[in-house]
Amino acid sequence: MVLVMSEEVRAALEARQPVVALESTIIAHGLPRPRNLQVALELETAVRQEGAVPATIAVLDGRPHVGLDKEQLERVANEDGIRKLGHRDLPLAVAVGASGATTVSATALLAARAGVRVFATGGLGGVHREWTVTQDESADLGLLARTRITVVCAGVKSILDVPATLQRLETLGVSVAGYGTDRFPGFYLSDSGHPVDWTLRTPEQVAGVMRAQDTLAEPESALIVANPVPEEEQLDPELHARVLADALHACEEEGVTGQAVTPFLLDYLVRHTDGASLSANLAAVRGNVRLAARIAAAWARG
């Protein structure tokens, strides 16, 4: 695949300036219009305010782009028929000239191919509930097990099986550290109820781990920096527990399966928390983007 890098991203990488990769699925599929474009521009601005260059990633007319201009962002936000692309979909999209927004796995892969080391997102995919029956696991996990990139996230989506996901990351050899916490974040919640073994407290410490990964010549796996949403901006834990239980019951009652489960549950949470879950999601993404930019700056300083 021939990557199309924006001039700004290319110049930053050549000058060893900080660059932060951003996914585009949140723009095309995660938010309603016109708020999706507003948030996309806001996140890019947040990266710039922290002294880094944003590299929003998408596939347009079969060409993977690392870094989008405003017109391209508007296209991802507003064009009908923009597909949702995981990393397995990239060769098909390239071959048939399709356009699509990139998920965590596709964004991480394209960012790494371009030489971008830091990626900010909301929450990772993971092991789904009822895994023993469905064998449903996000492609994010396998891709991160073989891709050298640092992912700043608010944990994994709380609709998933969090302890099983943490176990799977351990099995796959993906390093996980809490940022300023010894608890694994719960996406909408500051604490998923599960611990992490390692805590990092500064961007410089994170950059030090990244350098150690390279020095040790470990297998090409990712570093997950789990950054909790601030407690004052999290979704009320009691409301979260109640609505999630109702959502899981509704999912079963309506026979929703496979790839339809995650969007069904997320939409249910938004509607039955009066938008509070979306507000917590966006608060988490904003914090992750800013932290990722600071980590990228520490990494660039060497």
The predicted model gives 132-149 an average pLDDT of 86
Report the distance separating Cα 43 and Cα 120, nearest Å: 10
Question: pLDDT tens digits, residue range 192-219?
Answer: 999 999 999 999 999 999 999 999 977 8
Q: DSSP state, 54?
A: E
Per this entry, what is the length of the chain? 302
> Considering the domain 1-116 in this protein, what is its CATH number?
3.40.1790.10
Closest to 60 (Cα-Cα) out of 27, 29, 98, 28: 98
Six token digits for residue 298: 């520490």
Comparing 158 with 107, the larger pLDDT belongs to: 107
Q: Is a pLDDT exceeding 80 seen at residue 5?
A: yes
Question: What is the residue extent of each domain of the chain?
Answer: 1-116, 123-302
Q: Is 81 exposed, middle or buried (0-12, 13-18, 19+ CB in 10 A)?
A: exposed
Q: What is the mean pLDDT of residues 236-263?
A: 90
> Given this model, what pLDDT does residue 259 score?
67
H helices of 137-218, where?
A: 139-144, 162-172, 203-216
What is the Cα 29 distance to its own chain's centre? 13
The pLDDT tens digits for 275-294 are 999 999 999 999 999 999 99
pLDDT at site 156: 93
Mean pLDDT across 77-98: 96
Answer yes or no: pTM beyond 0.85.
Answer: yes
DSSP code at position 156:
B
pLDDT in tens, 27-47: 999 888 999 999 999 999 999
Active-site residue list: 23, 157
Task: Give the β-pairing of 53-60 and 63-66.
Answer: antiparallel
Cα–Cα distance for residue pair 153/156, rounded to 1 Å: 8
Residue 260: how many CB atoms within 10 A of its CB?
Answer: 12
> 134 pLDDT exceeds 80?
no
pLDDT-derived band at 133, boundaries 50, 70, 90: low
Q: Which CATH class is domain 123-302?
A: alpha beta
Render pLDDT for 6-24 as a digit per residue (tens, 0 to 9). 999 999 999 999 999 999 9
Same fold, 1-116 and 123-302: yes
